[in-house]
């Protein structure tokens, strides 16, 4: 049975190791660098008929698109017209308008008269919401409805403003020409602004948004109980193991509380709080993994044969915990500081990878930033932990064989205690390591949300698992 358990442990570690190595490699091999991505979205581009000149530019209907302002998709070349000149979007074709009546849904029909877009009269505003004069041909026009989930017409009470750059400002949010369109109705000379409804959430997405915060809220009291139990019982917090576990649990508790606020609050969270909570989540999760790395290193050191620090046992423990704290809190703080500088210093060029917290959501905006400031440090720590666990397992086995006959009863008890501690850390690492490797796999390959629902939900229940591993024991 013991041999079977060891093979199971080694096999599990092997699976985690393979995934931890292959997933980052797969990501970097299959993800194109930013310079090769489309310079603009399909909705903000127009089809081009010209061919590239020797200098790399393309000319189409009098417009010159330099290299980097056009791209190929599905066998056609499309140019980023809105990068050359401010754009607005017309819901129907150039010679059409919307026909609508109480008994007929709105649809486009040919306009027999003069289009109101020929004498564009919609007021244009600056950032101070003051009307500004623009040349007659200031805007280029894109044609066609791009609102996949429907649209609604703005009224004067909505306080929507057409800005000089072609965006619509609505409730302090700027909508480009892929998120609205303009049109006249029933031959009227008045041009109305219609804003696209955002994508709707399916039942599965709503269930996940409810399940994930619920799992974290269930974990929070178990994490709190684990921390309190170790804080109250002197035998538990009086050694490196207890102090490290309390630091690990407190980091995870902070991450879960902040992430629960973000996921439950969603639209109610202000932009400033959104950015602040994003930084807290990043730092807390990184600190959680660095403290797990410390616990792996500590048990590795015990069986490594390295010379212990000088001084009494109490002095050695104190020195080690100071060094451990500097590492486990300092490294996340360095990454946090770099992220903060990249986020808040405006003089840093846009070519640098920035976190951009709060732009689309209370987290990183781009996958490059997510990998650089979050997944990459976690991946390195997971690999280090695997290496330390594998070497410790073999050293523990050799040590047990060599000293089985010569050990005194006290020495056996010490070795048994260290062996139990190794098993506890191994369980904790397997719980966190496998879940986070699967988190990275789901991030890279995507696919239906239901495939990753179980592992993602398990990620939110780590507080319960930690409580079962470290508190629900006979000695406690």
Per-residue model confidence as pLDDT tens digits over 190-219: 999 999 988 765 555 566 667 778 888 999
Class of residue 140 by CB neighbours under 10 A (exposed 0-12, middle 13-18, buried 19+) = middle
Cite the residue boundaries of each domain of the chain with CATH code 1.20.1070.10.
203-471
Full DSSP string of 391-440:
HHHHHHHHHHHHHTTT--HHHHHHHHHHHHHHHHHHHHHHHHHHHHHHHH
pLDDT, tens digit, 9 for 90 and up, residues 30-49: 444 433 468 898 899 999 98
pLDDT, position 290 = 95
Contact between residue 291 and residue 251 where contact means Cβ atoms under 8 Å apart: yes
Rounded Cα gap, residues 315 and 114, in angstroms: 89
User: Average pLDDT for residues 293-320, to the nearest whole number?
Assistant: 75
pLDDT digits (tens, 9 = 90+) for 225-276: 999 999 998 887 778 888 999 999 999 999 999 999 988 876 677 888 889 9
Which CATH number is associated with domain 203-471?
1.20.1070.10
- CATH 2.170.180.11 range(s) for the chain read 87-196
Looking at CATH, the fold of the domain delimited by 87-196 is given as Methuselah ectodomain, domain 2 (2.170.180)
pLDDT bracket for residue 22 (50, 70, 90): very low
pLDDT at 80: 93
Whole-structure pTM over 0.75, yes or no? no
What are the phi and psi torsion angles at 466 (to 5°)?
-65, -40
Crossing angle of helices 462-470 and 409-445, rounded to 10°: 170
C-alpha–C-alpha distance, residues 375 and 28, integer Å: 12
């Amino acid at each position: 049975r013991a041999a079977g358990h060891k093979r199971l442990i080694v096999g599990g570690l092997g699976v985690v190791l393979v995934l931890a190595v292959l997933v980052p490699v797969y990501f970097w091999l299959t993800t194109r660098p930013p310079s090769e991505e489309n310079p603009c979205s399909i909705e903000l581009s127009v089809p081009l008929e010209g061919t590239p000149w020797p200098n790399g530019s393309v000319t189409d209907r009098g417009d010159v698109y330099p290299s980097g302002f056009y791209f190929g998709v599905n066998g056609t070349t499309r140019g980023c017209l809105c990068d050359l000149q401010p754009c607005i979007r017309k819901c129907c074709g150039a010679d059409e308008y919307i026909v609508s009546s109480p008994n007929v849904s709105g649809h486009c029909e040919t306009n027999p008269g003069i289009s109101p877009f020929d004498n564009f009269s919609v007021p244009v505003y600056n950032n101070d919401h003051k009307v500004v004069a623009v040349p007659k041909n200031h805007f280029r026009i894109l044609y066609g409805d791009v609102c996949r989930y429907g649209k609604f017409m703005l009224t004067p009470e909505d306080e929507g403003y057409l800005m000089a750059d072609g965006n619509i400002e609505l409730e302090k949010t700027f909508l480009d020409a892929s998120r609205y369109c303009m049109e006249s109705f029933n031959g009227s000379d008045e041009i109305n602004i219609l804003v696209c409804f955002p994508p709707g959430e399916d039942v599965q997405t709503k269930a996940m948004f409810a399940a994930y915060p619920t799992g974290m809220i269930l974990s929070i009291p178990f994490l709190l109980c684990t921390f309190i139990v170790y804080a109250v019982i002197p035998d538990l917090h009086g050694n490196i193991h207890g102090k490290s576990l309390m630091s690990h649990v407190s980091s995870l508790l902070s991450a879960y509380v902040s992430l629960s606020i973000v996921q439950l609050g969603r639209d109610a969270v202000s932009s400033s709080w959104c950015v602040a909570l994003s930084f807290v989540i990043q730092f807390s999760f990184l600190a959680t993994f660095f403290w797990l790395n410390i616990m792996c290193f500590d048990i590795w050191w015990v069986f490594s044969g390295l010379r212990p620090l000088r001084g009494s046992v109490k002095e050695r423990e104190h020195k080690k915990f100071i060094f451990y704290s500097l590492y486990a809190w300092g490294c996340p703080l360095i990454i946090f500081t770099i992220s903060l500088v990249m986020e808040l210093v405006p003089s840093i060029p846009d070519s640098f990878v920035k976190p951009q917290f709060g732009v689309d959501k209370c987290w990183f905006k781009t996958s490059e930033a997510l990998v650089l400031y979050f997944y990459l440090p976690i991946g390195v720590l997971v690999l280090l932990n695997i290496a330390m666990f594998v070497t410790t397992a073999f050293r523990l086995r050799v040590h047990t064989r060599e000293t089985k006959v010569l050990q005194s009863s006290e020495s056996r008890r010490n070795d048994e205690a260290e062996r139990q501690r190794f098993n506890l850390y191994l369980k904790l690492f397997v719980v966190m390591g496998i879940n986070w490797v699967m988190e990275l796999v789901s991030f890279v390959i995507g696919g239906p949300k239901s495939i990753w629902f179980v592992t993602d939900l398990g990620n939110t229940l780590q507080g319960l698992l930690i409580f079962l591993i470290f508190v629900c024991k006979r000695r406690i």
